[in-house]
């Protein structure tokens, strides 16, 4: 049995009960620990950069709700905002002032977004953006990249990353073949393949969707000129370029990955950070495209809880605090210190690793050589990662339970947290 849980623990009891009522015992597949073995633990509470499981064990957390907890867990400024909003009402199903303010802030901070529609999840954002792209261009084909995960949208669950990849099933049952046929997949960073596809089927392509910084098959980066080339191809052939910045939006920079790379997409999908820990999503872009949405245009999209006051209050409080404190500068400093500690540990090991970081996002691949796409990432030694994961967990550090997920730092991580993490990681790696 793995050291994460025993049959007499509260987490074991909860997981046994969960399996009776919830498929696989979890409400999102990667939480099941199938990528690392053993059984998951259950969290009782979280504060700052730490979480406490149902048995009272304290862990330094590098998952951060899979990205939203950029200020750490339960920051006072967010909790106070949510409490005040809750006292005014949990949900209205009627326009509220905070959704207007959130829309204004997004448009101000992300220059490519002139208008934005708020939704309830990243999946809803990408699903709606693809529908909008098809409606606006009057075309059906969508191009995505192997290993880029855009939520559990039928037409995008083709050679996907994240949980689908963790479980060894990058496609999904239940997706009609006829629908999947309208999705073309390409290797990330293969500019020649993109040019060839557009030369053959450019008139059919409604949109190209990608993570500008793929973070659901580990974490890797675009080669110089790759994103610029996609922008040129889309412009030349009348297709829309969609950046899925659900993870990177407001995390890697104030204006997201598109600010770092200087690329202007036609549509952008957002989530995670803009909800402050509550369910949220958004998609936006050029006004002429967004005006094709109902009620002004023919592309239908709706949501009862879209722009709900609790998520808007939490997200606005978090974003304003990031700006007030220059949080991105602090995150970069923490990321650089974390990377220096990791690389110092890796120097003492006898095997090859690849460590990638951008700002407060990171991934340690258990393989050598360069990693630029899904095929490169899949060379990783998953069994070795699983041993490392459990050794760290036993020592009080929680990384994502999959080789193919990114880790996240928050402004709440302290130097003491980073130092302890380096010590535990060194022991786990035998350094």
Residues 195-248 have pLDDT tens digits of 999 999 999 999 999 999 999 999 999 999 999 999 999 999 999 999 999 999
pLDDT at 162 over 70: no
Residues 90-102 have pLDDT tens digits of 999 999 999 999 9
In the chain, list all ranges with CATH 3.40.640.10.
76-323
pLDDT at 207: 98
Active site residue 149: yes
Instruction: Point out which residues pair with 58 in neighbouring strands.
Output: 52
Active site residue 244: yes
pLDDT at 165 over 50: no
Residues 6+ apart with CB under 8 A from 323: 254
pLDDT at 176: 79
Confidence of residue 164 (pLDDT cuts 50, 70, 90): very low
Identify which of 134, 133, 163, 131 has the alpha carbon closest to the alpha carbon of residue 147: 163
**With contact defined as beta carbons under 8 Å apart, do 115 and 285 qualify?**
yes
Which range among 120-134, 149-163, 334-348 shows the weakest confidence by mean pLDDT?
149-163
Is residue 119 helix, strand or coil?
strand
Active-site residue among 144, 261, 272, 398? 272
Is residue 183 helix, strand or coil?
strand
pLDDT at 157 over 80: no
262: left (phi over 0), alpha (psi -120 to 50) or beta: left
pLDDT at 167 over 80: no
pLDDT at 174: 77
CATH assignment, 76-323 = 3.40.640.10
Confidence of residue 180 (pLDDT cuts 50, 70, 90): confident
Confidence of residue 159 (pLDDT cuts 50, 70, 90): low
DSSP letters for 274-289: GGTTSS-EEEEE-HHH
Residues 6+ apart with CB under 8 A from 59: 50, 51, 52, 53, 393, 396, 397, 398
The reported pTM is 0.94
Residues 38-62 have pLDDT tens digits of 999 999 999 999 999 999 999 999 9
Residues 281-310 have pLDDT tens digits of 999 999 999 999 999 999 999 999 999 999
Count other C-beta atoms under 10 Å from residue 321's C-beta: 19
Residues 367-410 have pLDDT tens digits of 999 999 999 999 999 999 999 999 999 999 999 999 999 999 99
Is residue 47 helix, strand or coil?
strand
pLDDT at 355: 98
Active-site residue among 53, 144, 149, 159? 149
Quote the CA–CA distance of 412 and 137 in Å, as a whole number. 44
Quote the CA–CA distance of 290 and 113 in Å, as a whole number. 9
pLDDT at 223: 97
pLDDT at 3 over 90: no
Quote the CA–CA distance of 105 and 272 in Å, as a whole number. 15
Active-site residue among 53, 61, 98, 244? 244
Active site residue 62: no
Rounded to the nearest 10 degrees, how much is the dihedral formed by the CA atoms of 92, 93, 98, 104? Answer: -170
Question: What is the overall mean pLDDT for the chain?
Answer: 93
pLDDT at 1: 42
Q: Which CATH architecture has domain 10-74+326-428?
A: Alpha-Beta Complex (3.90)
């Amino acid at each position: 049995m793995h050291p994460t849980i025993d049959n007499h623990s509260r987490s074991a009891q909860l997981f046994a009960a969960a399996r009776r009522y919830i498929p696989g015992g979890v409400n999102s597949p990667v939480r099941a620990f199938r990528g690392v073995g053993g059984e998951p633990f259950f969290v009782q509470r979280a504060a700052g950069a730490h979480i406490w499981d149902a048995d009272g064990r304290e862990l330094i957390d590098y998952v951060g709700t899979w990205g939203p907890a950029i200020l750490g867990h339960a920051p006072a400024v967010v909790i106070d905002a949510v409490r005040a909003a809750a006292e005014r009402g949990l949900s209205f199903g009627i326009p509220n002032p905070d959704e207007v303010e959130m829309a204004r802030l997004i448009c101000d901070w992300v220059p490519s977004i002139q208008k934005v529609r708020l939704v309830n999840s990243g999946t809803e954002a990408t699903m709606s953006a693809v529908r909008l792209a098809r409606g606006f261009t009057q075309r059906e084909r969508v191009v995505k990249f192997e290993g880029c995960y855009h939520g559990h949208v039928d037409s995008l669950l083709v050679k996907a990353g994240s949980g689908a990849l963790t479980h060894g099933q990058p496609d999904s049952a239940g997706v009609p073949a006829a629908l999947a046929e309208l999705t073309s997949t390409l290797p990330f960073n293969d500019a020649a393949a993109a040019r060839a596809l557009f030369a053959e089927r450019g008139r059919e392509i409604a949109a190209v969707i990608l993570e500008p910084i793929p973070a659901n098959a580990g974490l890797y980066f675009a080669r110089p000129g790759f994103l610029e080339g996609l922008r040129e191809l889309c412009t030349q052939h009348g297709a829309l370029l969609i950046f899925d910045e659900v993870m990177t939006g407001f995390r890697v920079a104030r204006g997201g990955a598109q600010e770092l790379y200087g690329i202007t997409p036609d549509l952008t999908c957002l989530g995670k950070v803009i909800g402050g820990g509550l369910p949220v999503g958004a998609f936006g872009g050029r006004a002429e495209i967004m005006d094709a949405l109902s009620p002004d245009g023919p592309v239908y999209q709706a949501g009862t809880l879209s722009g709900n006051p609790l998520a808007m209050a939490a997200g606005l409080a978090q974003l304003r605090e990031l700006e007030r404190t220059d949080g991105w500068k602090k995150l970069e400093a923490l990321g650089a210190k974390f990377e220096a500690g990791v690389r110092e540990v890796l120097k003492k090991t006898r095997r090859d690793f690849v460590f990638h970081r951008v700002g407060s996002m990171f991934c340690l691949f258990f393989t050598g050589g360069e990693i630029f796409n899904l095929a490169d990432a899949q060379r990783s030694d998953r069994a070795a990662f699983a041993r490392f994961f459990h050794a760290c967990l036993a020592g009080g550090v929680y990384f994502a339970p999959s080789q193919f997920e990114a880790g996240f730092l928050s402004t709440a991580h302290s130097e003491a947290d980073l130092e302890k993490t380096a010590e535990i990681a060194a022991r786990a790696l035998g350094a």
